[in-house]
Chain A
Amino acid sequence: MALAASADAHRTSAWRSPLVVLSILLLMLLAVALVAASVGAAGIPLRRLPAALSFGQADLADIRRDQLVLWSIRLPRIALAIMVGALLAAGGAVMQGLFRNPLADPMLAGIAPGASFASAAAIVIGDRLQAGALLPFALLPAAAIGGALLTTILLYRLATRSGRTSIATLLLAGIAIGALANAGTGFLVFLADDRQLRDITFWLLGSLSGATWAKAAAVAPVLALVVAAVPLIARGLDLVVLGEAEAFHMGVAVERLKRITIVLVAAATGVAVAVAGVIGFVGIVVPHLLRLVIGPGHRLLLPSALLLGAILLLTADTFARLVAAPAELPIGIVTAAIGAPFFLSLLLRQRALIG
């Protein structure tokens, strides 16, 4: 009995050692990335990967072909999947900390429709303002982040009264705001001319299949911002778990923390929607799994969520590429198939709280 207890305690402490957890996740990510680089419509056997990455020997024709596939198709897609997955999971974890509830997810709570609406508006209005000229590429992510920011602030205002957040209000307000934003997007589709319509449709369908280095470059600064902010907000989010008033009593500058987290959630969601469309549930599944294994402390949870989100989305995307090859399954279907049952099980366990 005593032995079992001590072994158990030992295991718990190993699972909560940041070095062990982050190393394991990093190795898993590397393994998934290698597989993702190698498999696909044009396969690159693992033994030819080093040559294609230009540090190995192989047949010259093979190298040419492999390099073309790898550098212009597969690597940008892998980079994008890693970064978007990291942002989705971290955005979910941060939003759940802010709203003090494991069911909060930017993609479900109306923030993604807000981002989509803002982007569609940017396409239509931007195109009318400077007819004919090409839209600057950075305008769309910027508009998406702006839309996400407005929706996040609105949701927070609606769902939080004197420091207490109602998850029921949050989810319902999310539905209402999402419906309103979707109506707005529909209206823009109605207004749009053929060319704008093509842009909007392409945009709304968004998936990782259109990955380019330019898209990856648009996401990278936001990811850098989130990574840099993690050490600043992690302990504060732990204390907010006891309530906003309690966090203030313990010395947290709550208003400042809230402003930072809202901007982070909006930036992560907005830019993810901008480059990959609406991909649900990663933000719920990843933090929840991690809390079960490594505990709820945000100092380890947030960096782990960045890594596991990347692993999950890269795995889902690779699966989506392979399962119906040479056609591709939209990735949103894969994540929803995994995530929706997961969300329901969480909801059932929380039923008492929601009433």
Chain B
Amino acid sequence: MSPILTAQSVSVRAGTKVLLDNVSLAVTTGEVIALVGPNGAGKSTLLRTLAGELKPNAGHVLLKGRAVADYAPRDLALHRAVLSQSTQVAFPFAVREVVRMGAGEGRRRHVDALADAALADVDLTAFADRVITTLSGGEQQRAHFARVLVQIACALEANGPGLLLLDEPTANLDLKHQLELLQIAARCARQDHTVIMILHDLNLAALAADRVLVLANGSIAADGTPAATITDEILGRVFKVAAAVGQVPPAGTPFVLPHGMQPAL
């Protein structure tokens, strides 16, 4: 299958600081990729560059064979959707209104149906008429994820499967909603959308991703299946923690590790 997204020798600098150093990447349609790495490794910068939001100082990003910089914003929005790390809503919009915004500026049919479906997906149907700023951080995050789902559904109608870029989508979520979100991401991949998400929890990354991209100091330190990338060696070299992958901690230390994305009923 041809790659949906390619990054060719992408470098991003802020002043003299190098945020991304010569990153190249090819992503196949329908992949679920977890982007992991220590704080400041350049994960968000890479995601924002792939989204077309940041212009790289060198290199190109191609989406479906065309440079992201060449898309008009409205057209680009019908190929890829982005969930930012924290989104502040400045005026008292209702949750349903925010979710409908995923359809963009134009008037589109079935937006109400798409918004209702997305609200049900993220478990916020009962909150649809609440003002979004009165919700908890996790609930707001889920509302914004629902907005992104509306956008990617519009993209699917207009141009077929697209690209979902999620910056720490599980931050602020309780365990049940973390798993539900990963399930929805997997469902999107089954519709042939491609998902790239920044995750901090390596266990969740191993559970949800086909491919893990480990970023360190603006470069790709490892790229492959979870088994190939989440190793004692990487944990030590990149994350600077001494840990043993796949072994039960010493007796008496409780640990919780979801073994699947299906929440209990």
B30 within 8 A of A: no
- A254 partner residues in chain B, CB cutoff 8 A: 73
* Chain B residue at minimal CB-CB distance from A234: B105
* Chain A residue at minimal CB-CB distance from B75: A251
Q: Cβ of B87 and Cβ of A243 under 8 Å apart?
A: yes
Question: Which residue of the partner chain, among B72, B84, B92, B144, contacts A253 with CB atoms under 8 Å?
Answer: B72
Interface centre among A246, A252, A254 (most CB of B within 10 A): A246
Q: How far apart sit A250 and B101, CA to CA, in the bound complex (Å)?
A: 8
Q: Cβ of A251 and Cβ of B105 under 8 Å apart?
A: yes
B236 within 8 A of A: no
A127 within 8 A of B: no
Known: A249-B51, A251-B105. Contact between A297 and B93, CB under 8 A? yes
Q: How far apart sit A242 and B77, CA to CA, in the bound complex (Å)?
A: 15
Q: How far apart sit A100 and B151, CA to CA, in the bound complex (Å)?
A: 22
Question: Which residue of the partner chain, among B48, B53, B92, contacts A296 with CB atoms under 8 Å?
Answer: B92
Q: Mark B201-219, 1 if CB is under 8 A from A, else 0.
A: 0000000000000000000
Q: How far apart sit A9 and B128, CA to CA, in the bound complex (Å)?
A: 12
B2 within 8 A of A: no
Known: A249-B81, A250-B101. Contact between A296 and B91, CB under 8 A? yes
Known: A241-B90, A243-B84, A254-B73. Contact between A249 and B53, CB under 8 A? yes
B119 within 8 A of A: no
> Chain B nearest CB: distance from A62 CB in Å?
51
Q: Cβ of A246 and Cβ of B87 under 8 Å apart?
A: yes
Q: Mark B45-78, 1 if CB is under 8 A from A, else 0.
A: 0001001010000000000000000001111111
A248 within 8 A of B: yes
* Chain B residue at minimal CB-CB distance from A301: B91
Q: Is the interface of A mostly helix, strand, loop or mixed?
A: loop
Q: Cβ of B97 and Cβ of A251 under 8 Å apart?
A: no
B94 within 8 A of A: yes
Q: How far apart sit A241 and B77, CA to CA, in the bound complex (Å)?
A: 17
Interface residues of A in 71-103 (CB under 8 A from B): 100-102
A236 within 8 A of B: yes
Known: A248-B53, A249-B51, A251-B73. Contact between A243 and B88, CB under 8 A? yes
Interface size bracket, B side = 20 to 34
- A236 partner residues in chain B, CB cutoff 8 A: 105
Question: Which residue of the partner chain, among B48, B81, B93, B94, contacts A241 with CB atoms under 8 Å?
Answer: B93
Question: Which residue of the partner chain, among A235, A246, A249, A295, contacts B94 with CB atoms under 8 Å?
Answer: A295
- A295 partner residues in chain B, CB cutoff 8 A: 92-94, 97
Q: Cβ of B74 and Cβ of A246 under 8 Å apart?
A: no
Q: Cβ of B92 and Cβ of A291 under 8 Å apart?
A: yes
- A246 partner residues in chain B, CB cutoff 8 A: 82, 84, 87
A171 within 8 A of B: no
- A102 partner residues in chain B, CB cutoff 8 A: 91
- B105 partner residues in chain A, CB cutoff 8 A: 235-236, 239, 250-252
- B93 partner residues in chain A, CB cutoff 8 A: 238, 241, 295-297
Q: Mark A221-254, 1 if CB is under 8 A from B, else 0.
A: 0000000000000011011011101101111111
- A253 partner residues in chain B, CB cutoff 8 A: 72-74
Interface size bracket, A side = 20 to 34
- B102 partner residues in chain A, CB cutoff 8 A: 250
> Chain B nearest CB: distance from A247 CB in Å?
9
Q: Cβ of A251 and Cβ of B76 under 8 Å apart?
A: yes
Q: How far apart sit A251 and B73, CA to CA, in the bound complex (Å)?
A: 5
- B89 partner residues in chain A, CB cutoff 8 A: 241-242
- B104 partner residues in chain A, CB cutoff 8 A: 239, 250-252
Q: How far apart sit A102 and B92, CA to CA, in the bound complex (Å)?
A: 11
Question: Which residue of the partner chain, among A242, A252, A291, A296, contacts B87 with CB atoms under 8 Å?
Answer: A242
Q: Cβ of A249 and Cβ of B84 under 8 Å apart?
A: yes
- B90 partner residues in chain A, CB cutoff 8 A: 100-101, 241-242
Q: How far apart sit A252 and B97, CA to CA, in the bound complex (Å)?
A: 17
Interface residues of B in 102-117 (CB under 8 A from A): 102, 104-105
Interface centre among A101, A236, A250, A252 (most CB of B within 10 A): A250
- B81 partner residues in chain A, CB cutoff 8 A: 249
- A252 partner residues in chain B, CB cutoff 8 A: 73-74, 104-105
Question: Which residue of the partner chain, among B84, B98, B129, contacts A245 with CB atoms under 8 Å?
Answer: B84
- B84 partner residues in chain A, CB cutoff 8 A: 243, 245-246, 249
Question: Which residue of the partner chain, among B48, B77, B88, B97, contacts A250 with CB atoms under 8 Å?
Answer: B77
Q: How far apart sit A241 and B144, CA to CA, in the bound complex (Å)?
A: 13
* Chain B residue at minimal CB-CB distance from A251: B77
* Chain B residue at minimal CB-CB distance from A297: B97
Q: How far apart sit A101 and B92, CA to CA, in the bound complex (Å)?
A: 11
> Chain B nearest CB: distance from A306 CB in Å?
18
- A243 partner residues in chain B, CB cutoff 8 A: 84, 87-88
- B77 partner residues in chain A, CB cutoff 8 A: 249-251
Seed contacts A102-B91, A239-B104; 6 additional CB < 8 Å A-B pairs: A100-B91, A243-B88, A251-B105, A253-B74, A291-B92, A295-B94
7 A-B residue pairs with CB within 8 Å: A102-B91, A239-B105, A245-B53, A250-B104, A252-B74, A252-B104, A296-B93
